[in-house]
Amino acid sequence: MHQLARLRRHLPWSSVLTQALLLFFFTFCMLLPVCCHRLVYSYFFLRSTYLDGISEDALQESLQRGQHALRFWQSSSMNFLDVASSPELLVTVVTAQRHDGRDFHYLLQVMHQLSVVLGTCGERRCAEVLLCDVASNPQDNGDARLLEGNFRVIRRRDRSPEHVNIFEQEKRDYTFCLRHAFNSVRPRNLVVLEDDALPLQNFFQVVQDLLSRRFAAHTLYVKLYHPERLQRYWNPEPYRILEWVGLGVVGTTLVLLTLSYWNPCSFSFTPSALHLLLLTVYVMAAAELLGRHYLLELRRVSPQLYAVSPATECCTPAMLFPGNASLRVARYLDDAFCTKGNAKDKVLYNIVRSIPGEQAHSVEPNLISHIGAFSSIRPNPARPKLL
């Protein structure tokens, strides 16, 4: 009791330092751990406790979705075979045979979701759709064969007998799809989805908004997906640091305005330099520890709120190529040889950084959900994890 009394004398409640220490302690040691311990992309996520269960739930949900998509396409009479020439937007889905996770039917899930969201633009279809099957043996890709009666399929029949590593082969297949999709339809804009990139409900509304923005006429590509685990503020990307500081300043302003009208705990914070610094650090730390991914989700309220920033290095499951940029990308990729650690996403990132005048962008939050728990080019564990 004597020590507690001494502590109260040295750190009275009226002291801003005392208030700041208690605010930080309550927020970061009590409130956020209780609220965020089940959020996968928060620093407070209890990985050892919840990761296995959440991962298994995600696998089961994807499996059920895949089985539903299989039944849908086995009985569907939907016809997307007639592809208009020179459409405003063409979506090309690149698919290959998978050795693991076949029961999940990723391609069927993606095409089912596309068939749903294609009708969200009103009377006119949002986009034309092509399927690009790059399987070495088309008979091995049963999902693509099932869809032949519903979608126009491009197949690669000129595969080189030369043996190359899987990353170089993936790049060559990708450039094949880029060229043949563009040359066969001549779209004004092209979206390329890999066969495990599940488009979200407002996919086309956001893509149309992106194409209406000024930057679209001067960009090589726009990435429509970036892994959630890599979306944190504490990141080498300079723009995120600026965004983080800006959020801290705006959040501090809102806190001070709130305290001026409602202050039940009698906080003594004022717009002084020290208090502003303390509160800015507080807001920034809370945002990072909560998880930037969850703050980005608030932007889904409207297509106009989606943020466009310089392109990130990883990854390429969903890409938008405005105009005829896809042909330029194919030429650039032809000049590179891909290996492990230098796959096509890294090659594209380095191309933009090394060629004067070229620009590339990413959009946040993601426009697709990456459902491919089982990779088609890398070894897979028996039961993949979300992280």
Q: Which residue has the higher pLDDT, 262 or 61?
A: 61
Checking if the pLDDT of 96 tops 60, the result is yes
pLDDT value of residue 98: 86
Query: Which residues are CB-contacts of 45 (< 8 A; sequence separation ≥ 6)?
Result: 36, 37, 38, 39, 51
pLDDT value of residue 347: 96
**Averaged pLDDT score across all residues of the chain:** 91
Checking if the pLDDT of 350 tops 60, the result is yes
Checking if the pLDDT of 291 tops 70, the result is yes
The CA distances from residue 235 to 10, 222, 243, 244, in Å, are 39, 20, 11, 10
Neighbours of 235 (CB within 10 A): 15
In which residue are the tokens 């996520």 written?
A: 45
d(CA 105, CA 155): 19
d(CA 141, CA 68): 18
pLDDT value of residue 382: 81
Pull the structure tokens for residue 346. Answer: 């890294």
**Of the listed ranges 178-182, 272-276, 307-311, the one predicted with least confidence:** 272-276
d(CA 106, CA 90): 20
**With bands split at pLDDT 50, 70 and 90, how would you rate the model's confidence at 157?**
confident
| Section 191-200 average pLDDT | 97
Q: Each residue of 224-262: pLDDT tens digit?
A: 999 999 999 998 788 899 999 999 999 999 999 998 888
Contact 156, 138 (CB under 8 A): no
Nearest of 98, 111, 109 to residue 64 by alpha carbon: 109
pLDDT value of residue 303: 96
Q: Which residue has the higher pLDDT, 387 or 181?
A: 181
Query: Which residue stretches of the chain are H helix?
Result: 2-10, 16-26, 32-36, 47-75, 106-117, 142-146, 166-185, 203-212, 238-261, 273-290, 292-296, 325-334, 344-354
Checking if the pLDDT of 3 tops 60, the result is no
pLDDT value of residue 4: 41
pLDDT value of residue 6: 53
Q: Each residue of 98-123: pLDDT tens digit?
A: 888 899 999 999 999 999 999 888 77
What are residue 96's phi and psi, to 5 degrees?
-140, 165
pLDDT value of residue 353: 92
Checking if the pLDDT of 1 tops 60, the result is no
Domains of the chain: 76-230+297-365 (3.90.550.10)
pTM recorded for the entire structure:
0.92
Checking if the pLDDT of 11 tops 70, the result is no
d(CA 357, CA 371): 34
